[in-house]
Structure 1
Amino acid sequence: MKLLKTFLIILFSTLIVSCSEKDDAPKNIEVQNFVWKGLNAYYLWQDLVPDLSDRRFSNDNELYSYLSGYESPANLFYNLLYMPNEYPKDPNRTYSWIVDDYIALEDSFAGIRLTSGMKLKGADYADGSGNFYIYVYDVVTSSDADIQGVTRGMIITEINGTTITRANINNLLNNNTFTIHLADYNAGNPVSNGTTITVNKSQVTENPIKVTNVIVEGSHTIGYLMYNQFSRNFDGELNAEFAKFQTAGLTDLIIDLRYNGGGSVQTATYLGSMITGQFNGELFSKQVWNHKVMEVTNTDLLINNFTDQILNKDQQGNVILNEAINSLNLETIYFIVSENSASASELVINALKPYITVKLVGIQTYGKHVGSITLYDSDNYTRNGNNLKSHTWAMQPIVLEIQNVNGENAPEGFIPEVLIDEDPGNLGVLGDSTEPLLARTIQYITTGSKGVPTIQQNTQISPSWNSNMMHPDYNNMYVELK
């Protein structure tokens, strides 16, 4: 990405604390040095963190003395974040994070995880007792849970014989092998039915394209796509599904983002271009970085335009996918959303709104309009940069706010005009026209009726427990640096 190279050349010459390629910190604080200088250069709220100020240290020795006070790079990283803006809806989390194994981080962006394959949500008992249960809302195809017969809608009240609580659920699921104890829903007060299933975690690659089909309702030919992650590794498969939609002669399209927490901004741009096609070359979204980046960067490098071509390259700049985008030229698009629709999912909604009619069914989206990059400890902070250090630490700090062509975004999330939430006792089969949220969307398309809301309109979403929260890239939106 030209932005990175342009910015680094100018930044290195202007920082008071030297960030030159020859700067070698003492070995015991090598990672801490990388953390401070990476955040100082790129962190979106750098100017609001006193210890990240360009004038905080007059020379490297002062900086090294400060860094020596942090034995853990992770502690340093999180102490340098601007917490009030990082994750306002959950003070126990941050949008930015650091890992000691960037291979695992890269795998997560590619949909590769160590997982049982169960995707779970938590809920309180309806009787107000404070008891807590979890339920399966999806199962990854070909995972062990899939093989063992775990299905969407199963209710779980115990793991390894231990009653589930809000406090212990993460620990109970932390084992590589565990046994789930099933229960009957019983109007939201689950009762054990004596059935148990043992599942094992394994390395699984999840295709984010969960379900696609074409539904004919009267004069309407409706395409349906459930899309669970904006993963560039599957851009070709996504484009192929739109080729099928082209052939089907759709009158309407539903994209189900209810479980999609985000991912690649580039892939989001491709999806927006597949839905439309009539806006090629026009602005899809624009990025706002910290003041240091904005001052030295050509703003043309901070925009994402609608495109008619997928062009993906690997870390070395080799072309891995180059093909024309299959576009539908739609004037109206329907999205199914939930509190778990975040970042890149919201970006697509936001970016399309100035151009076509966007209709939403579900519950209020999460509200995340900032994105990150992966920083590696090399001369230019990229994976293939010179002098990449031997350690495997990497950072994923928030570096940008993203806006549509009108300079707008939705920090509080988008509120659907058709309000309906999932019912753990009646989840239905994903992709089936009788599944409650899909059925309501079809009704909206064919009759214009919004139906009777099943929930009250919220102004602020506080997300319930979701097993995806245990993944490092939960609700992440990122740009790739080449």
Structure 2
Amino acid sequence: MAKMKSLLAFLMIFSIILISSCREQEPEPEEFEKGTNEYVNNWIYDNMNLYYYWNEDLPDKSINGASPEDFFYSLLSNQDRFSWIQPNFQELLNSLQGITLESGYEYILYNDPNNENGVIGQIAYVKNGSPAEQSGLKRGDLFTKINGGALTLDNYRDQLGNLSQNHTLTIERYDFENEEFLEIGDFELGAVQFAENPNHLDTVYTRNGKKIGYYVYNLFSVGIDTDSAKYAEEMDQIFEQFKSEGIDHLVLDLRYNGGGAERATINLASLIGSNISEQDIFVKRDYNEGLKQAFIDEYGEDFLNRKFVQKTQNIGSNLKSPQLTVLTSTRTASASELLINGLNPFMETFIIGDTTVGKNVGSTSFYEENNPDNTWGMQPIITKSFNSLNQSDYDLGFYPDIPLRDNSLVKLDLGDVNEKLLREALIYLAGSDEVSRQTKLQEISAKDLMGSMELKRRFGIYDIDLK
């Protein structure tokens, strides 16, 4: 019943849980034929019965030949908005590391304000080193056609399927001098298996005598794979630079960060947190009663806690109130929210943007690595998160201190001091700067339909290590 190597150590715990479970246990059925749906479904049920946060809501065990996908979703509690399963566990693991078949850009779709049935795509950001960056695609570019076909409310979902292969986008770019969008042609974009570096942008602004660090972080990932720490090491270097420059405030841009790994979240929190130590709790995990008690019996109460780590690059003690300003959107989720909640007891956080998703639960990946008879991977919710003050009341999201929707069709590059949300943060922290505000942006608001971020399996993930 392997899923991760670390779970093999819990075979003893499994037996404890099975014995102590309040569910009436049925006799073990005869072994299911390998490679059948029944075989996979039995694996699904056994793991869900042991780990699923709402395992008391599971139906009685009854293995049938339904597709594993249908069987899995039939088990979920009505409190569960986030668990999923997919046929290929390696694709699941890749998605959690930010590796997908794509051209290297994220987009948001809007209703065309000038065409009732029309749909407009807008580039939210372009990933560093991607085919999209090499082609010259820019944040704020609009696309009205994919492979020459116009986007409409009737066909856009089908059209989006073309974006995971080589494709063309018909691009319109805003002319700031004439204040209008101009079509600049078709961009040919190749699709590759691309690993996104989450450390998208970092810089320091000096305004009215204050130094303000700005960090755009788009995915909680420590490295390209589970054995790599490349991205975490880069993050440490970024904060070493912030520290050496003596920043007074930090603006953390999580608008496009839908979550990721707990390890990366703890690393970032440990770089930012004020007056923290390795003894301070960042997050408390709650599990189903059987699993929680088994962990306590085996390892003690402290096993349920995850603490900050010692980082020489920590800038928390150097920051002035408000120490952390977070830029958010309706796509800020899960591990991003975990970060805010975990830091709240230790420092003043200030949010500018839109209400976040509201995910205060976490999951982990279940798969059988070397079993050709079961290639499925599932990501069920197994824990609920609390901070050191036992707070977990963000299931409806974090509401911003300054509400500001980023839904204009006219957008500047991330990092531009006149970019809508960053400009608001800089004004709030250090007052206006007439030099930087000379660019007056035309607001062309549109109704947000959906974005590519929430279509990715990694969206809404708070992925934990059970060790």
Interval containing the TM-score (normalised by the shorter chain): 0.7 to 0.9
TM-superposed deviation, 1:17: 4.4
TM-superposed deviation, 1:254: 0.9
Alignment check: 8 A CA contact 2:252 2:325 kept: yes
Partner of residue 402 from structure 1, selected from 385, 391, 416: 385
The answer to whether 1:67 aligns with 2:63 is: yes
CA distance in 2, matches of 1:158, 1:191: 15
TM-superposed deviation, 1:423: 4.0
Alignment check: 8 A CA contact 1:4 1:481 kept: no
TM-superposed deviation, 1:389: 5.8
CA distance in 1, matches of 2:346, 2:326: 15
CA distance in 1, matches of 2:254, 2:285: 23
Partner of 2:71: 76
Alignment check: 8 A CA contact 1:12 1:18 kept: no
Quote the sequence identity (%).
28
What per-residue deviation string (whole Å, max 9, x for no partner) do you get for residues 158-208 of structure 1?
Answer: 112222134533322323122212246799xx9883621121210111110
For the aligned residues, what is the CA RMSD?
2.9
TM-superposed deviation, 1:445: 0.6
* Structure 1 residues 167 and 352, CA gap change in structure 2 (3 angstroms): farther
Partner of residue 429 from structure 1, selected from 398, 413, 422: 413
Partner of 1:318: none
* Structure 1 residues 446 and 341, CA gap change in structure 2 (3 angstroms): same
CA distance in 2, matches of 1:6, 1:359: 45
TM-score when scaled to structure 2?
Answer: 0.84
Which AA in structure 2 matches 1:174?
G
What per-residue deviation string (whole Å, max 9, x for no partner) do you get for residues 250-301 of structure 1?
Answer: 1111111110001112221221110025211111111111122123221321
SS at match of 1:431: coil
Partner of 2:346: 355
Q: Which has the higher contact order (CA 8 A, sep 6+)?
A: 2
Which AA in structure 1 matches 2:460?
N
The answer to whether 1:85 aligns with 2:79 is: yes
The answer to whether 1:37 aligns with 2:46 is: yes
CA distance in 1, matches of 2:126, 2:195: 13
The answer to whether 1:221 aligns with 2:211 is: yes
The answer to whether 1:366 aligns with 2:348 is: no
Partner of residue 300 from structure 1, selected from 299, 302, 307: 302
TM-superposed deviation, 1:237: 1.1
TM-score when scaled to structure 1?
Answer: 0.81
Alignment check: 8 A CA contact 1:263 1:478 kept: yes
CA distance in 2, matches of 1:23, 1:139: 53
Mean Cα displacement is larger for which, 121-130 or 412-421? 121-130
Which AA in structure 2 matches 1:358?
T
What per-residue deviation string (whole Å, max 9, x for no partner) do you get for residues 342-386 of structure 1?
Answer: 001011111111211111111111111111011123xxxxx5xxx
The answer to whether 1:439 aligns with 2:423 is: yes
CA distance in 2, matches of 1:142, 1:19: 55
Which AA in structure 1 matches 2:347?
I
CA distance in 2, matches of 1:19, 1:277: 54
Alignment gaps of 5+ in structure 2: 1-5, 224-230, 434-441
Partner of 1:459: none
* Structure 1 residues 411 and 448, CA gap change in structure 2 (3 angstroms): farther
CA distance in 1, matches of 2:152, 2:175: 18
Partner of 1:474: 459
Partner of 1:63: none
CA distance in 2, matches of 1:441, 1:336: 8
SS at match of 1:173: helix
TM-superposed deviation, 1:390: 4.8
SS at match of 1:174: helix
Alignment gaps of 5+ in structure 1: 58-65, 88-94, 310-323, 378-382, 456-461
Mean Cα displacement is larger for which, 223-232 or 165-174? 165-174
* Structure 1 residues 181 and 231, CA gap change in structure 2 (3 angstroms): same
CA distance in 1, matches of 2:462, 2:285: 12
Q: How does 1:255-270 map to 2 (within 5 A)?
A: 255-270=252-267
Which AA in structure 1 matches 2:335?
A
Partner of 1:149: 136
Which AA in structure 2 matches 1:248?
E
TM-superposed deviation, 1:480: 1.9
Partner of 2:33: 26
Count of matched residue positions in the alignment of Structure 1 and Structure 2: 425
Mean Cα displacement is larger for which, 133-142 or 466-475? 466-475
Which AA in structure 2 matches 1:393?
W
TM-superposed deviation, 1:34: 0.8
SS at match of 2:450: coil
Mean Cα displacement is larger for which, 419-428 or 268-277? 419-428
CA distance in 2, matches of 1:295, 1:101: 32
Alignment check: 8 A CA contact 2:127 2:196 kept: yes
The answer to whether 1:336 aligns with 2:337 is: no
